[in-house]
């Protein structure tokens, strides 16, 4: 549905991108078991830029409560360790030669609450991204030529309805993730 520069499909696609990013961030929140998705979103300062963890080493799960990262360049071991410590995940890496071992402790009630707050922060960032897309859509409607006042109101309503739908799906994702985190 496109009307002189206002494309609702494009707006939906951009809002879906915010939800996809949120689900990726949720994958990095641990729930007591080791998972590659826990460390994949962590960026490492390497070679003068930020690189995803998967581009500096091999990530594996040798046992249910252990993640290992075999760093390809020995010079990056310190940077990998620092990135993990500063990630806010509450995990402490152990350097073992070219390997970085990350034992995953069981979650305490306090840590579960902390992770739920982090999930809420990620959710708020997704809501902001969706609202920014809405703002872009509303501005495009105002700038579009040849649209009558009634058509503008209808398009404003369509964009708002799409925004409400996307924010609801973000909120539903938060409720599901909080339930997963709080499960003992």
Q: What is the CATH number of the domain that holds 22?
A: 1.10.132.20
Q: Out of 45, 76, 103, pick the residue that ends a domain.
A: 103
Alpha carbon distance 115, 81 (integer Å): 21
Same domain, 40 and 62: yes
**26-73 tens-digit pLDDT:** 876 766 667 787 788 888 988 889 988 888 999 998 887 889 999 998
In a shared domain, residues 72 and 162: no
Residue 23 pLDDT greater than 80, yes or no: yes
Scanning the chain, the segments in alpha helix (DSSP H) are 8-27, 36-39, 77-85, 109-143, 149-182
Domain of 129 in residue numbering reads as 2-26+108-182
Distance from chain centroid for Cα 164: 20
Contact call for residues 177 and 120 (beta carbons, < 8 A): no
Q: In this predicted model, which residue has the larger pLDDT, 91 or 13?
A: 13
For 103-140, what is each residue's pLDDT tens digit?
887 778 887 888 889 899 999 999 999 999 999 999 98
Q: Answer whether 28's CB lies under 8 Å from 54's CB.
A: no
């Amino acid at each position: 549905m496109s009307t002189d520069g206002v494309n609702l499909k494009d707006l939906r696609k951009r809002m879906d991108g915010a939800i996809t990013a949120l689900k990726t961030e949720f994958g990095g929140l641990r729930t007591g078991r080791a998972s590659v998705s826990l460390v994949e979103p962590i960026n490492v300062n390497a070679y003068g830029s930020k690189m995803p963890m998967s581009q500096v080493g091999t990530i594996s799960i040798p046992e249910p409560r252990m993640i290992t990262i075999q760093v390809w360049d020995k010079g990056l071991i310190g940077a990998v360790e620092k990135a993990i410590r500063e990630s806010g995940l509450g995990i402490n890496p152990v350097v073992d030669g070219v390997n970085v071992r990350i034992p995953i402790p069981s979650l305490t009630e306090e840590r579960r609450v902390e992770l739920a707050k982090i999930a809420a922060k990620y959710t708020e960032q997704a809501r902001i991204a969706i609202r920014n897309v809405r703002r872009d859509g509303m501005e495009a409607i105002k700038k579009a030529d040849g649209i009558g006042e009634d058509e503008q109101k209808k398009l404003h309503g369509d964009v708002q309805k799409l925004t409400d739908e996307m924010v609801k799906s973000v909120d539903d994702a938060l409720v599901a993730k909080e339930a997963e985190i709080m499960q003992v």
